Structure formats: C-alpha cells, structure tokens
Structure 1
Amino acid sequence: MTTTLITGANKGLGFETARRLVEAGHTVYLGSRDAERGRRAAERLGARTVLLDVTDDASVEAAAKSIAADGGLDVLVNNAGIESRTPDGGVIGAGELTADMMRQTFETNVFGLVRVTRAFLPLLLRSARPVIVNVSSGLASLAGVTTPGTPAYAYPGVAYPASKTAVNMVTVQYAKAFPGIRINAVEPGYTATDLNAHTGTQTVEEGAEIIVRMAQIDPDGPTGGYFDVEGPIPW
C-alpha cells in the first residue's frame, strides 16, 4: 500500500489529486490548514486528514510525527501555494510589488515547500518507492517568460512566477542530493481554481493529470525534471 501526503488538499488541484490517488489505491493524507475543512474533504474521498500549515514549523513537525506514528510515507505532493492579487482580483505587477508581498508568496510557495520536505525526508528515505512531486507552474519557465507570444510572456506578475522558478531550482538540487527519491516539478496548466479566481481555462481534472501521473512513477522513472502533461518542458 502506497501512503501519500498532499499539502493544500481540501480543495482545487490538491483535492482532485487526492481523489484520483485514493481511486488508484493509495492511502492519502489530505494536508489542510483548517481542521474542519480537511475533515469534510477527507470524508468525501475516503481519505485521511492531517492538520498542516506549511508556513508553521510546529504544525509541520506535528504532522510528520503523526504520519510517522501511523506507519510512514511513500509519496509527498507539495501542492500548497498562493498567488497574491489586488482587492479586485487583478495581478500585482512590477510597479505595485512590495517586498512584503514577495515575502508572503515565498513563505508558502518556497519556504513552506522546503519546510515540509525537510520534515518528511526521514520517512521518505525509509520507503522502498519514495517520490516527491513539487507543483510548479508554466510561469516558472524562464524560456517561456522571455519568448514573445507565449502566455507566460504576457503575464505581468512577479512574485508568483519568481516563487515557482525557485521551486524548480529546489527540485533540481534536492533530486541531485537524494538520488534514491524520484523528485520532479510539474506544470498543471492554467486551471480554474481559487488561486486565480477561477479564471483558468481548464478543469481540475485536466490539471491534476500530470500531478497524479508523476506521483505514481516507478523507482527507475525520471528525477530532477520539469514536466507538463505532454512531457518535459523548457526551464
């Protein structure tokens, strides 16, 4: 039995990924900052829930101890993420960006990912088939944001794509440091979720496809890569 933890999993891509992996036979822990929302989501899916705020050391450490006591972990999906927006839902461009806005985004998207990964590494290293999936974005691609005519080039925001580019670098460096773990970054695509005020052009079912696929790769599968549903994509 494969045991999987998904952060930020009580809604959106995390919830759909959990649904699909439960269906595939995984024992899934839904990480959620809100205990009641997490409990309700887990009940709907036949999953387990764990209170987990990726920005809080004590919360992450408690979650790791709880899952360790239940038997361990095989797959970690670092899905929790935020995108700061204006009060009317607009993207915050370079002219409006402040250091505090940047810090808030990085606290969840980058530091939270590192915090969770560090806490669960001892459990993953004891697994026979350890996997880490880091949910990145097409906006993280430097090739994309510098190529006129692409959706990434047209996006005016700074904090979110910068944070996901950092996620890509973290992915590569962790993959080199831990060659026994399959560690990859994935681009779900522009998916309609709360993150973008449901302006995305594809469904969560479509967006979760690459996350689910990479969560189930074999021990001889790729590591240190950056993938969308069609395959490797440019850094």
Structure 2
Amino acid sequence: MIHSDRSGTARRLRIGFLSAAHARAHGRRDASGLLDVLADAGLGRAPDTDGLPPYVLGVRAQAVRSTTRLRARMLDRNRDLSRRIHAESVRVVTQYTVRGEPAPAALARFGTMVGTWRNSAAVCRSRAQGVVDEANHLLACYWDAAWTRARRAHELPPHRPAGWLPGRAELDPTWHRVDDGLLPDRWYGRGAPPASADPAAVAQALAILDSQLTGGATRTTGSRG
C-alpha cells in the first residue's frame, strides 16, 4: 500500500498486513483474466509491460515515483555541498591539469566533500532499494494469490515458479553510479558513462581524486611487501 504524510512530501510503499492483503485480494480478483499469462509461466515466459495488469503497473509506477522523490530530496538537501564541489573542482583541475602543480590541500578538501556526497548518495540508494524490495513483495503477494485462485479450475503447478515475477521493479542503472548526481546531464540519461574523458571540471577532478587514491593505495600495499 502507498502512504503519504500530510504535507505530501513523503510518499512511499509500506509493507504490512493490510497492504499485503490488498495485493492478494487484487490477485484473486484478476486471476480469471490472467490464465494465459499464468499458463506461460511454466515456459519461463512473462508478459511485456503492455500486457501487465493494472495493479502491477500501479505498484511499479508508485515505486518509480517514490524513488524519484527520494533522489530529489537528496539533491535538494545537498545542493550547497554540490555547489562547493563544483567550485573546488575548478581549483583542482587548474592546479593538476592546467598548471601541472599538485595541490594536496585542495585535493584533500575536495576529497572530503566528495566523500560526504558519496555517503549521502549511498544512503539514498539504500532507501530506494528498500522501496523497490517492498514493491516486489507486493507483486509477489499479488501473483501468488492469482496463481492459487487459478489452480482451482486449471491445471497449474502447485506453486508459482521461483523467479517468475512479471512487472518486477528495479532501480535503473543511474542509482549505481553515485557520482552521476553531480553531473545531471549524465544521470538523466539511462546509458553508460561516456568512454572518452568528460570535459566537465567535476568529472576531471573526480578522475584526479580517484587516481590519487588508487595510486596511494598501490604505493601503501607495495611498501608493505
């Protein structure tokens, strides 16, 4: 079931007895119209998005809206941090790329800001994954109920095939690239990051930071040997 607070700012899926019962009731009600879909389950086939029942589409849409709100709130809370990261990235790129003069203090400040950003983004991603897991639990309740009801009049295996969950909700790939939130033009697109170097100062500064961290770890590991 979907819940929202009185201000309407937080709206998310919540699992409980009533929401699960609601999903099962929908599954039983829709079972008679899903016989072809259920019969195809044994062959490993699942309907495409256009063939999904309204309840499943509704749960998926609510999951998308809930995760989008989570990301929007995270970006809003960290807008000042994002501005500072963009400003500091120019200094880092100027020192390391334009002047060719390492600036450990500037890089350390930048690294601290980026670390704070990455932690906040990772927490947000964890919450978004929780929303997706809750949505998939409701979908499992729905399909289990539809399957059980359909078995009364049709020959079906005793249980829904493991892993068969039409309409399964998933986080899109942008959720797994936490730095993309600093580069809106990138995470609005669903594709992979560009293979060539990104001209944006933030992207260049992140590359410098990560290369320094990797190099430092390699040197530390080597010194132990």
**TM-score calculated relative to the size of structure 2:** 0.30
* Higher helix proportion: 2
Q: Which has the higher contact order (CA 8 A, sep 6+)?
A: 2
Bigger radius of gyration among the two: 2
